[in-house]
Amino acid sequence: MSADPNTITVTRLVRRMRNLLEIELGELWVEGEISNLRRQASGHCYFTLKDDGAQVSCVLFRGNARYAKVQPDNGLKVKVFGEVSVYEARGQLQMIIKKVEPLGAGDLQARFEALKQKLNAEGLFDASHKKPLPKFAQKIGLITSPSGAALQDMLNVLSRRAPWVQPILYPVQVQGAGAERGIARAIHQWSNPEKFNLPEVDLIIVGRGGGSLEDLWNFNEEIVARCMHACPTPIISAVGHEIDFTIADFVADHRAPTPSAAAEIAVPNGADLRHKVEVLRQAMRRSVANKLRHHDTQLASIRRTAIPKNPERLLSQAIQKVDNSRDQLESAAHKHLDHLTARLEKIQLRHEHVHPEKVMLRRAEKLDQLDRSLKNALDHQLDNKAKKLNQLAGMLRTLGPESVLSRGYSITLDAAGKVVTKESDVSSGDILTTKLHQGELSSTVNDK
């Protein structure tokens, strides 16, 4: 150690430099381009942040790297937040990085929040505008990239869970300049498929795989949000991964964390449907068997307690009624079981066996049946009301004052129109009106 009080060691010099930098500069944001990236097995990253005039060494430790919005890569322009310090072992200036964001992410985030507030104020996110998803969609429109992994993920899930569903792809570009116009055009055209010669679908899934804020930005554009809001067909938004949120997620009728999850939400599980049908069939069989046993028990009881004298004549009507009921119950049960079996077989067929014309015919028949039921119920209600009205009219004719007058009675009223029921109600000189069955008389009280 030097005896000169004006001389310090290298360690103390470097430590003073470090303290001055940390105190004077502290933590701050710096932007530049990454180069000389080295990733250690430990998960720590070392790189150089440079611009046209200078460069600085940086270290991003594993704990902070895990939560970085973008992973460092050579040539990537970023904005970093950290502490300026000195690595004492080499006396080297460096930044200890805590946050890494792609350059321009702050501006994009501000635009995102501004548009989100604007559309929310207009009511585009309101739950009252959310349309329910169909329980058994037959055709599902997929608006995504034809070459992306998201498409294959959705097709795999749909074919596994619901092979009867027909997926229809509307290929679009999901990233890059102008991609939002293609996405909006696809949604707009499927809002009126006949006009644009597109097949009608029951549900639309708009999606793509994950990425950075810039990668997903096309789904944050206002034109996409407004086309989604105006679309009459229910839409599932499946953009990015579970942690990614876009404006499209808030406007869509339903948000799925991933494209695969969107496909699972869109269709029921065929295996679960088959199990439910089998459970219903077994329950129906048990119900029919129980009712048949109940009727057999009733019939046996009637036969045991019947009057011995000519029991066949006494029980013939009841026996026939029980037999007819049993035949009808068995027939109805078999028909219902056959219907359920046929429905299960149709569900198991591929989607090409489900023809829209047949679906429309069945719905038309159901509508006719409901129409007839409604008319019958209405006619029945009108008949009941007419009968009740006639009964009330008859009671009115029987109990009303006109009926009393027609039998020779009369009603006497004083000058105020009140009914005179006793002698004390009038005085001499009062003018009275007597109502008869036909006409009325006016009289004056001369003597009480």
Q: What does the alpha-carbon distance between residue 270 and residue 160 come to, in Å, rounded to a whole number?
A: 8
Average pLDDT over residues 13-32: 85
Given a cut of 60, whether residue 2 has pLDDT beyond it is: no
pLDDT at 236: 96
Average pLDDT over residues 424-447: 84
369 burial level (CB within 10 Å; 0-12, 13-18, 19+): exposed
pLDDT at 321: 78
CB atoms near residue 304 (< 10 Å): 7
Domain assignment present for residue 388? The answer is: no
Q: Could you tell me if 217 and 139 lie in one domain?
A: yes
pLDDT at 271: 81
Q: Could you tell me if 199 and 277 lie in one domain?
A: no
pLDDT at 440: 86
- Mean pLDDT score of the chain: 86
Q: What is the CATH number of the domain that holds 83?
A: 2.40.50.140
DSSP label at 178? T
Q: What is the pLDDT of residues 287-314, one digit of tens each?
A: 998 988 888 888 887 777 655 555 566 5
Given a cut of 80, whether residue 383 has pLDDT beyond it is: yes
DSSP label at 75? T
pLDDT at 92: 87
Last residue of a domain, one of 52, 85, 103: 103
Spatial contact of 48 and 58, defined as CB atoms under 8 Å apart: yes
Phi/psi at 12 (5° precision):
-70, -35
Cα angle: 348, vertex 352, 355; to 5 degrees: 100
Q: Hey, CA dihedral for 112, 117, 120, 124, is it positive or negative? A: negative
pLDDT at 310: 58
Domain assignment present for residue 3? The answer is: no
Give the C-alpha distances (Å, rounded to integers) separating 147 from 38, 58, 142, 143, 209. 32, 37, 13, 12, 11
pLDDT at 305: 64
Q: Could you tell me if 146 and 275 lie in one domain?
A: no
pLDDT at 232: 96
The more confident residue out of 5 and 148 is 148
Q: What is the pLDDT of residues 323-375, one digit of tens each?
A: 788 888 888 888 888 888 888 777 777 655 566 777 788 888 888 899 898 99
Given a cut of 80, whether residue 242 has pLDDT beyond it is: no
**How many domains does the chain fold into?**
4
Q: Could you tell me if 206 and 248 lie in one domain?
A: yes
Structure token pair of residue 38:
């080295």
pLDDT at 7: 85
| Non-local CB neighbours of 276 within 8 Å, separated by 6+ positions | none
Average pLDDT over residues 191-206: 95
Nearest to 72 by CA among 33, 28, 31: 33
Nearest to 265 by CA among 355, 77, 388, 135: 135
Residue type at 358 in one-letter notation: K
Given a cut of 60, whether residue 379 has pLDDT beyond it is: yes
pLDDT at 106: 61
State the residue range of the domain holding 94. Answer: 10-103
Q: What does the alpha-carbon distance between residue 99 and residue 293 come to, in Å, rounded to a whole number?
A: 76
pLDDT at 355: 65
157-180 as b/e: b if 16+ CB within 10 A: bbeebbebbbbbebebbbbeeebb
pLDDT at 429: 82
Q: Could you tell me if 169 and 300 lie in one domain?
A: no
Given a cut of 80, whether residue 404 has pLDDT beyond it is: no
- What percentage of the chain reaches a pLDDT higher than 90? 38
Cross-sheet strand order for the sheet of 166-171: 166-171, 139-144, 203-208, 235-239, 254-255
Q: Could you tell me if 237 and 348 lie in one domain?
A: no
pLDDT at 266: 93
Q: How far does Cα 169 stand from its chain's mean position?
A: 23
